[in-house]
């Protein structure tokens, strides 16, 4: 469910930018609502409108109403403090059975109007007639909407609009403006009253209105409403102070209590379950704390906790040792990588030198083709060595001849004579 909070006056985008420039309280324009709807998750088809608004621009209010209805989503709306003027038109975006209001809320429906100083320096009868026609057309449009969405009697709702007054939720329920009243919680709210009881006529006198170039009625925020907005409220009767508490996951839980621990029955927002830093879980439903779950209690026995602490410390030590081992391995791998990169650089340097010298052909020219000759016997023993070799050769030949039977002894006489 997407929660749409409309807590400021309904204004045009131009007036909102002007408020930003002057540091004033910003209003809510049609563009804000359109952006909200576009940002919703595709699967979310439910919008819960929270209203605390004095109304404002008719043009922007009707545009917001039409945009909400055009979504086709399931829409609910809750009046949290005040819904007046065009805020009641936005309230009608929800069907009657899903329109609710807190017991202390106020609702005001009235005819559109223009302040005298918004008419200009001088107007003639035709100008006044045009203004009257525009206002009457806007008035009938509102009455038609209330009759259609509330099921009320046309004359009865028109009579109420003519009175221009705040009504309580019981009367709003009987007219069909809302379909349910949210009863108050048991906790007593602390309030502070500013000035006297709200007088709607005085409030009207303090509210600026103007008419744009197309003749549409624009209602400006009063200075008193701006002051009350500083307190997070727009009701002139009271301003309720509260505490903004931080949850464990960084959200903000607002509890309407000046001091002390939140209690069941305290008014709070937003709805949901919130886990606090101390472990407690606060459940908020329909703007009220319905349950506070205590924190889960651990063992207080130190002896019981010690083994768990020892186990954790052992895990830390093991992880630290493993981490150091991994660091050493990383350092070793980095050194190997550096050596490999260095060797690669040397190889590349040599290859570049060869290329610059002329390549492989130049290396072939520089290569030596010298072959050393075989070893030769020299010196005074050369003759003796040669005689020995001849005698050995003759002896081998004689042995072979004897084996073959062809040996013939040499003639010794001839040899001697020789």
pLDDT for 376 equals 55
pLDDT for 214 equals 46
pLDDT for 34 equals 95
pLDDT for 191 equals 41
Whether residue 353 is predicted with pLDDT greater than 60 in this model: the reply is: yes
pTM of the model: 0.46
pLDDT band at 39 (very low <50, low <70, confident <90, very high): very high
CA distance linking residue 92 with residue 82, whole number of Å:
15
pLDDT for 369 equals 61
Read off φ and ψ for residue 236, nearest 5 degrees: -80, -15
- Confirm if 48 and 78 have CB atoms less than 8 A apart: yes
3-class secondary-structure state, position 190: coil
pLDDT band at 220 (very low <50, low <70, confident <90, very high): very low
Whether residue 395 is predicted with pLDDT greater than 50 in this model: the reply is: yes
Lookup: tokens for 234: 């727009």
Whether residue 47 is predicted with pLDDT greater than 50 in this model: the reply is: yes
pLDDT for 74 equals 96
Digit-coded pLDDT (tens) for 160-218 = 999 999 999 999 999 999 999 998 765 444 443 333 333 343 334 334 444 444 444 44
CA distance linking residue 327 with residue 331, whole number of Å:
6
Digit-coded pLDDT (tens) for 280-307 = 999 999 889 999 999 876 544 444 445 5
Digit-coded pLDDT (tens) for 316-338 = 888 999 999 999 999 999 888 88
> Which of these ranges, 18-27, 207-216, 224-233, 357-366, has the smallest mean pLDDT?
207-216
pLDDT band at 86 (very low <50, low <70, confident <90, very high): very high
CA distance linking residue 282 with residue 184, whole number of Å:
18
Highest average pLDDT, of 20-24, 340-344, 360-364, comes from: 20-24
> Which of these ranges, 8-12, 232-236, 312-316, has the smallest mean pLDDT?
232-236
Digit-coded pLDDT (tens) for 144-162 = 999 999 999 999 999 999 9
Q: Locate all alpha helices (DSSP H) within 13-71, ordered by sequence.
A: 13-22, 30-39, 58-70
pLDDT for 401 equals 78
- Pick the closest to residue 226 from 25, 57, 51 (CA basis): 25
DSSP summary character for residue 258: S
- Confirm if 220 and 210 have CB atoms less than 8 A apart: yes
CA distance linking residue 139 with residue 300, whole number of Å:
70
Peptide bond into 270 cis (omega under 30): yes
Torsion of CA 206, 211, 216, 218, to 10 degrees: -30
Whether residue 138 is predicted with pLDDT greater than 90 in this model: the reply is: yes
Whether residue 118 is predicted with pLDDT greater than 70 in this model: the reply is: no
pLDDT for 411 equals 59
Helix (H) or strand (E) holding 277: none
> Which of these ranges, 43-57, 66-80, 363-377, has the smallest mean pLDDT?
363-377
pLDDT for 159 equals 95
| Mean pLDDT of the chain, nearest integer | 79
Whether residue 413 is predicted with pLDDT greater than 60 in this model: the reply is: no
pLDDT band at 363 (very low <50, low <70, confident <90, very high): low
């Amino acid at each position: 469910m997407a929660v749409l909070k409309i807590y400021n006056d309904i204004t045009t985008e131009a007036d909102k930018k002007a408020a930003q420039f002057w540091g004033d309280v910003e209003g809510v324009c049609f563009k804000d609502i359109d952006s909200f709807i576009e940002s919703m998750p595709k699967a979310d088809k439910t919008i819960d409108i929270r209203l605390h608004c004095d109304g404002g621009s008719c043009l922007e209010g009707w545009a917001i109403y039409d945009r909400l209805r055009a979504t086709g989503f399931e829409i609910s709306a809750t009046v949290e403090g005040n819904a007046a003027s065009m805020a009641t038109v936005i309230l009608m975006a929800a069907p009657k059975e899903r329109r609710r209001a807190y017991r202390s809320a106020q609702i005001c429906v009235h005819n559109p109007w223009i302040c005298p100083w918004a008419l200009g320096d001088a107007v003639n009868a035709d100008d006044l007639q045009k203004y009257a026609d525009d206002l009457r057309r806007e008035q009938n449009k509102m009455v038609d909407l209330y009759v259609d969405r509330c099921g009320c009697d046309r004359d009865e709702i028109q009579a109420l609009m003519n009175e221009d007054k705040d009504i309580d939720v019981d009367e709003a329920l009987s007219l069909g403006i809302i379909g349910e009243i949210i009863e108050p919680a048991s906790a007593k709210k602390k309030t502070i009253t500013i000035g006297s009881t709200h007088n709607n006529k005085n409030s009207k006198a303090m509210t600026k209105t103007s008419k744009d170039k197309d003749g549409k009625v624009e209602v400006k925020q009063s200075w008193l409403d701006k002051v009350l907005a500083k307190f997070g409220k727009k009701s002139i009767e009271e301003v309720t102070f509260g505490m903004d508490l931080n949850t464990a996951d960084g959200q903000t839980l607002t509890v309407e209590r000046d001091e002390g621990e939140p209690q069941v029955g305290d008014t709070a927002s937003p709805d949901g379950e919130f886990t606090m830093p101390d472990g407690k879980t606060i459940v908020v439903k329909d703007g009220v704390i319905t349950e506070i779950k205590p924190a889960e209690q651990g063992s207080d026995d130190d002896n019981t906790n010690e083994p768990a602490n020892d186990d954790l410390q052992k895990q830390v030590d093991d992880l630290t040792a493993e981490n150091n081992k991994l660091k050493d391995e990383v350092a070793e791998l980095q050194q190997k990588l550096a050596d490999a990169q260095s060797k690669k650089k040397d190889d590349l340097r040599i290859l570049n030198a060869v290329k610059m010298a002329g390549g492989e052909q130049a290396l072939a020219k520089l290569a030596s083709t010298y072959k050393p000759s075989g070893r030769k016997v020299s010196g005074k023993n050369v003759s003796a060595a040669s005689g020995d070799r001849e005698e050995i050769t003759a002896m081998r030949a004689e042995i072979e001849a004897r084996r073959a039977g062809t040996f013939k002894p040499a003639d010794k006489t001839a040899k001697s004579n020789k």
